[in-house]
Amino acid sequence: MSEPTASIIPDDRVQPLSQKEFDRYSRNILLPEVGVERQARIRAAKVLVVGAGGLGAPIALYLAAAGVGTIGVVDHDVVEESNLQRQIIHGTRDIGRPKTASARDSIRAINRGVKVVTHQQALTSENALDIIEQYDVVVDGTDNFPTRYLLNDAAVFLGKPVVYGSIYQFDGQVSVFDARLGPCYRCVNPTPPPPDLVPSCAEGGVLGVLPGLVGTLQATEVLKLIVGDAEPLIGRLLLVEAWSTHFTELSISKNPDCPVCGQQPSITELIDYQEFCGVGGHDDQETPIASITATDLKTRLDAGEPVQLVDIREPHERALSPFPAAHAVPYGQLVRRIDEFDPSVDLIFLCTIGQRSVFAIRALERAGYQGALLNLKGGVAGWNQEFAQQKAG
């Protein structure tokens, strides 16, 4: 078990509660571990939630209900219908709105005493330090490795704790990374996995209630850091397996050779995290990936032009959203089935959102395939959205 930690809230920011606040938070105050003074610390706290998606939704809502005085929300995305299966901070009427605006309205609907600061932008190496510096604790509700490493490094440089969470399908993880008291994220994950081996939730799916479970655990860790004298998950990694309802705790240690928080750090400023994680750019030795839009593909199909459509999704994905005109070749079988493709005809790859297709094209290029290779931009999801909108129009 980890050691009890002191509150992260400076004493000089703690002010007495009003009678109205005393009444509102009475169920917290009745707990000996919280009481009046520590509820006042919750009111004085400033928490940054990075990501207003599946994890950020329950985190922000429960922190608002608990009385956290200032909640910052960082997100650059807009609400999509597919978000609503798990991102409970948004509703159907919010589709198309910025997630930060929708989150702000939901937080205020729960507790108008909370100050909501929206950061409608992506967290980058250029703005991360300025944004994070304003808050006492950062909550990781991200869904990608570049932002996760960026968040970790910025928090280490600023001396801030990060309440970490991640989800995929039925599995989740929770921990608290504070380089002053234990390991940081890089101590446990020194290098990111190859991007083609890590499908996103958009490609692999996620049980809708799982982010609620993991996000609520993250919100609990935030409150423990704020009130103090608790045992946060510093030096511990909690593994959550929702389908069989298993919780496993692992001990994790600070790495003395960590490039960010170790004894002789080699990373002393924020870097290019897209490049570090192998995403978002292209190798100078490789040609850019050619893409085709859903509209252009439909035009070619309607005109009867010869094309080879290859669906690299797994069987359960194809069953959920079929694309009958395509030849099914799962991603893992592509290279050994290369002889099935005709180099004289354009080969167009389909996946869920157009991400795995990029890796498929690179794999065939490395295998020496000589024909034209195209990626369906936006994948099958983009195709369905495009023509669903046209039909609705």
Which CATH number belongs to the domain containing residue 295 in this structure? 3.40.250.10
Residue 285: partners with Cβ closer than 8 Å, 6 or more residues away = none
User: What is the pLDDT at residue 286?
Assistant: 53
Among 187, 258, 261, 351, the active-site one is 351
**Is residue 128 pLDDT above 60, yes or no?**
yes
Q: Which residue has the higher pLDDT, 67 or 283?
A: 67
Same domain, 294 and 271: no
Among 184, 187, 201, 258, the active-site one is 201
Structure tokens at 261: 């928080």
- Whether residue 201 lies in the annotated active site: yes
User: What is the pLDDT at residue 226?
Assistant: 98
Residue 3 lies in a domain: no
**Is residue 117 pLDDT above 60, yes or no?**
yes
Number of domains in the chain: 2
| Rounded Cα gap, residues 222 and 70, in angstroms | 13
- In our burial notation (b when 16+ CB lie closer than 10 A, e otherwise), range 301-340 reads eeeeeebbbbbbbbeebbeeeebeebebbebeebeeeeee
Query: What would the pLDDT profile of 350-368 be if each residue is shown by its tens digit?
Result: 998 887 888 889 889 888 8
Query: What would the pLDDT profile of 28-85 be if each residue is shown by its tens digit?
Result: 999 999 999 999 999 999 999 999 999 999 999 999 999 999 999 999 999 999 899 9
Helix pair angle (99-110, 56-66), 10° resolution: 30
pTM of the prediction? Answer: 0.76
The alpha carbon dihedral of 129, 135, 138, 143 has a sign of negative
**Is residue 284 pLDDT above 80, yes or no?**
no
| Rounded Cα gap, residues 330 and 123, in angstroms | 34
Of the listed ranges 333-337, 348-352, 374-378, the least confidently predicted one is 333-337
Same domain, 145 and 54: yes
Q: How many CA atoms lie within 13 A of 70 on its CB side?
A: 16
Q: Which domain holds residue 150?
A: 11-276
- What does DSSP say about strands 162-168 and 171-177: parallel, antiparallel, or unpaired? antiparallel
Residue 4 lies in a domain: no
Of the three residues 219, 245, 276, the one that is the final residue of a domain is 276
Structure tokens at 191: 């290098």
**Is residue 199 pLDDT above 70, yes or no?**
no
Where does the pLDDT of residue 214 fall: very low under 50, low under 70, confident under 90, or very high at 90 and above? very high
Same domain, 106 and 20: yes
Residue 6 lies in a domain: no
Count other C-beta atoms under 10 Å from residue 26's C-beta.
Answer: 10
Is the Cβ–Cβ distance between 260 and 267 less than 8 Å? yes
**Is residue 228 pLDDT above 60, yes or no?**
yes
Query: What amino acid is encoded at 227 in this protein?
Result: V
Residue 73 lies in a domain: yes
Q: What is the mean pLDDT of residues 102-108?
A: 97
Same domain, 204 and 232: yes
Where does the pLDDT of residue 282 fall: very low under 50, low under 70, confident under 90, or very high at 90 and above? very low
Residue 364 lies in a domain: yes
Is the Cβ–Cβ distance between 107 and 114 less than 8 Å? yes
Is the Cβ–Cβ distance between 87 and 215 less than 8 Å? no
Same domain, 71 and 220: yes
Of the listed ranges 134-138, 249-253, 274-278, 363-367, the least confidently predicted one is 274-278
Same domain, 236 and 381: no
